[in-house]
Amino acid sequence: MGIASRKNKLSVEKERAREQWGRDPAGAAYARDHEFATREFFDAVERHRYTEYAPWMRAVMGFDRFSGQKLLEVGGGMGTDLLQLARGGAHVTGIDLTPRSIEITRKHFELYEQQGEFAISDCERLPFAAKSFDVVYSNGVLHHTPDTEGAVREIYRVLRPDGLARIMLYHRNSWNYWIEIILHRGLLRGHFLRGHTPQEIMSRFIEINEGGGRPLVKVYSRREARELFSMFSEVKLQVEQLVRPELYVLGKFIPEKTFRRLRRVIGWNVIISARK
């Protein structure tokens, strides 16, 4: 089933985002050994995402906690998370700015015999009436749109009273930002000397980028994330996402208990759970 999309002139940043994920769908690089958009392909993407990259994600994002609820995913990519939410019993709708993402998501759902509604749409102008959803979910998307504040206001608008927004943004006070972007890329690799800003460095290196796309990338501290969602009545934050190879040689020797604590302090993702 489809939902009519609002037409609007896209900004340069949004065109770059559409180009980036049209050419390099998020997660596709981890299933190169399989034919694109087959069961084997999607299984490999899922296995990497939830087993190797982010084993915390199923529990923290709560894929099985929204049974019977109307859920909107903003920026679903290939529909990997949305499929888990549908399997968990949510009545799902997925939007994405990139036409190819919606096409892939439809195929994904058809292969696994799951139901959903899908639309090409801008997260800053959601094509839904106020108070339409019980849950709005977005994982790693809103930091790529120019008006993130406007996107959050739209999420607030379409949520029902007491509805939940569960959103992941990139974390400023993370190992990835300060060690990889600022120290490694900016200072040691000379990008600052060449006049590149941290945002420009992130645009070049954060996302898998074989097509040469340069998407907008922003980062948020915990305080900034809390302020961004200040219109909500309750805001809870959790930091996650760190893998041992990112710590270089140190990653081999840090005890697991200590590593988990580090992940929750200097991880790359800040997860916001905001109640309307």
Per residue in 227-258, pLDDT tens?
999 999 999 999 999 999 999 999 999 999 99
| Ranges assigned E (strand) in the chain | 70-74, 91-96, 117-120, 133-139, 159-170, 234-240, 269-275
Positive or negative torsion for Cα 250, 251, 252, 256:
positive
Distance of CA 14 to the CA centre of its chain: 15
Does the pTM exceed 0.75?
yes
> Is residue 263 pLDDT above 60, yes or no?
yes
169 within 8 A of 195, measured Cβ to Cβ: no
Distance separating alpha carbons of residues 23 and 198, to the nearest angstrom: 24
Per residue in 152-189, pLDDT tens?
999 999 999 999 999 999 999 999 999 999 999 999 99
Whose CA is closest to 153, among 2, 18, 274, 6? 274
74 within 8 A of 151, measured Cβ to Cβ: yes
The DSSP element (H or E) to which 150 belongs, if any, is helix 148-158
